[in-house]
């Protein structure tokens, strides 16, 4: 007999404590592994967003004035709490997103890297100093916080992506308002509680749940200085255009269609292992998932055989169950949409090597098996669109140049990879490919925290990548100070243009 789970009320986090929603509007939260509703999240009104931002404004005055040592100490404490309570947080992610526990743990680990980078804020915010730039004149540069900044984050990484943003933002002396996905919001509240326990003052980290009304309220609010976003390309473009029209800094990361170029000399076993992991991990719900394998020359048959032989070995099931390799998709509607892409690919002439719709998966929940399509062409929707599901397309090309041209002509340019034993070919590829993040025999080239993350073309709106050095620059603004302390005995007025010689 199936037991109906208790539906829990999920709160906002404002001024250091949980706050029930007041708009009267809510959205259901599901366990994707069972299909049953487990939570109800409030959707904030513009008035609730305004209240949250005002508390962040008030907190910003004190936090901006805090010493770099104090900020670093809070970040170190937060890092330790996050590390020690990883298993609890991973369980929350799996319960609402559906990804397997090991993947949830890995997500937290990558988020931790960003916290660890941000603990070095005393070094990261060091400015430059030029003594005696002119006679008796010194010049130095400083970077100062923006004030209140906001993050709008996707469902697929409910911990890692917020940590991409908030760790650097808070380290730089800003207060941070998070609008997480309403599909899996509970992890954000867990983060808020850890920040508080780490000693972060109330109001420095805020969580406001919501839909488009809350997003628009953040974009339009005069006290929000900057917006960070990760999501689909149409929404990224909307966020960028509306936010910049209001005079805000905006970094908006959009969609992807990541290709793996497999050369004839590649280690096929290594390439197949890597591609399977990158294509089907987290049910393909990653902006860095490999969704297209570009097989060059005669390598196509061997590659398709190697990939297809691995798929029956993988177990699809509840993310919390032991031995599961791939969990469900986030919603029933998205599962059905992905299945529709498989049908469209078959109709358009692609060869269905493995059909995820026919695999043995649990009946309850939002499950779909792994699909492998061969003989895909660039005019098919399965190639053109970001599917965001466990579907891998194989496109066959005759030469390296043809494969490179295919990748460079795609409107998305988030991540790509090449599989080869030839160092010269790899070096040529990393130089010629028009994509923001490149892997050489690495299937998911997400940069470590002391570099920055972001693509090109329709995968990025704005000119600043996320986290790392570019993240520090995004959450601060530069100021140059020119000073002179003349001898009072010789002081005189000079109305001429300042001279350095």
Task: Tell me which residues are annotated as active site.
Answer: 287
Q: Which residues of 460-496 are buried (b: 16+ CB within 10 A; e: fewer)?
A: bbbebbbbbebbbbbbbeeeeeeeeeeeeeeeeeeee
Please give the Cα distance from 329 to 311 (Å, whole number). 17
Token pair 């028009």 is at which residue?
Answer: 434
Q: Indicate the angle between helix axes 68-84 and 86-97, nearest 10 degrees.
A: 70
The C-alpha atoms of residue 487 and residue 152 are separated, in whole angstroms, by: 53
SS (H, E, C) 205-266: EEECCCCHHHHHHHHHCCCEEEEEEECCHHHHHHHHHHHHHCCCEEEEECCCCEEEEECCCC
- As to burial, measured by CB atoms within 10 angstroms (0-12 exposed, 13-18 middle, 19+ buried), residue 88 is exposed
Residue 1, burial from CB neighbour count under 10 angstroms (0-12, 13-18, 19+): exposed
- In angstroms, the CA 465 to CA 461 distance is 9
Largest CA distance in the chain: 93
Across 366-436, the runs of DSSP E, i.e. the strands, are 371-374, 391-397, 412-413, 415-419
Q: Hunting for tokens 């997003």 — which residue is that?
A: 215
**Residue tagged 């008030």 (tokens):** 58
E-strand ranges in 146-221 read: 148-152, 175-179, 205-207
Task: Tell me the C-alpha distance between 414 and 416, whole Å.
Answer: 7
What is the C-alpha separation between 182 and 49, in angstroms, rounded?
Answer: 15
Buried b (16+ CB within 10 A) or exposed e, 264-300: bebebeebbebbbbbbbbbbbbbbbbbbbbbbbbebb
**Strands across the sheet with 129-134, in order?**
129-134, 137-145, 476-484
């Amino acid at each position: 007999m199936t037991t109906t789970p208790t539906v829990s009320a999920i709160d906002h986090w404002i001024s250091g404590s949980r706050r029930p929603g007041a708009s009267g509007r809510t959205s259901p939260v599901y366990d994707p592994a069972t299909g049953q509703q487990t939570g109800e999240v409030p959707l904030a009104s513009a008035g609730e967003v305004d209240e949250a931002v005002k508390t962040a404004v008030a907190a910003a005055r004190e936090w901006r004035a805090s010493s770099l040592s104090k900020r670093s100490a809070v970040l170190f404490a937060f890092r330790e709490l996050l590390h020690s309570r990883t298993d609890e947080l991973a369980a929350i992610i799996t319960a609402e997103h559906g990804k397997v526990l090991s993947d949830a743990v890995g997500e937290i680990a990558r988020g931790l890297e960003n916290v660890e980078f941000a603990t070095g804020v005393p070094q990261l915010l060091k400015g430059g100093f030029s003594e005696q730039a002119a006679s008796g004149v010194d010049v130095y540069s400083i970077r100062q916080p923006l004030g209140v900044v906001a993050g709008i984050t996707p469902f697929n990484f409910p911990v890692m992506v917020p940590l991409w943003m908030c760790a650097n933002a808070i380290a730089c002396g800003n207060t941070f308002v998070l609008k997480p996905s309403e599909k899996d919001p509970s992890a954000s509240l867990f983060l808020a509680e850890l920040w508080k326990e780490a000693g972060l003052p109330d109001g420095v980290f805020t969580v406001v749940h919501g839909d488009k009304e809350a997003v628009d309220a953040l974009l339009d609010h005069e006290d929000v200085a900057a917006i960070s976003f990760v999501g689909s390309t149409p929404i990224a473009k909307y966020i960028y255009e509306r936010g910049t029209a209001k005079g805000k800094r905006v970094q908006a990361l959009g969609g992807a269609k990541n290709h793996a170029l497999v050369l004839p000399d590649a280690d096929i076993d290594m390439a197949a292992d890597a591609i399977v992991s990158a294509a089907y991990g987290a049910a393909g719900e990653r902006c860095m998932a490999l969704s297209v394998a570009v097989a060059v020359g005669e390598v196509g048959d061997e590659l398709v055989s190697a990939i297809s032989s691995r798929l029956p070995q993988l177990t699809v099931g509840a993310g919390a169950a032991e031995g599961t390799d791939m969990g469900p998709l986030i919603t029933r509607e998205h599962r059905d949409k992905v299945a529709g892409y498989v049908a469209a690919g078959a109709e358009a002439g692609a060869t269905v090597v493995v059909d995820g719709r026919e695999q043995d998966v649990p009946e309850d929940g939002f499950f779909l098996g792994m699909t492998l399509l061969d003989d895909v062409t660039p005019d098919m929707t399965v190639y053109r669109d970001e599917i965001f599901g466990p579907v891998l397309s194989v496109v066959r090309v005759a030469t390296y140049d043809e494969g490179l041209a295919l990748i460079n002509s795609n409107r998305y340019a988030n991540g790509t990879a090449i599989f080869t034993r030839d160092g010269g070919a790899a070096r040529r590829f990393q130089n010629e490919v028009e994509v923001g993040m490149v892997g050489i025999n690495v299937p998911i080239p997400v940069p470590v925290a002391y570099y920055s993350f972001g693509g090109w073309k329709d995968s990025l709106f704005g000119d600043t990548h996320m986290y790392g050095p570019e993240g520090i620059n995004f959450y601060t603004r530069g100021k140059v100070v020119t000073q002179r302390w003349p001898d009072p005995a010789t002081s005189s007025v000079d109305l001429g243009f300042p001279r350095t010689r």
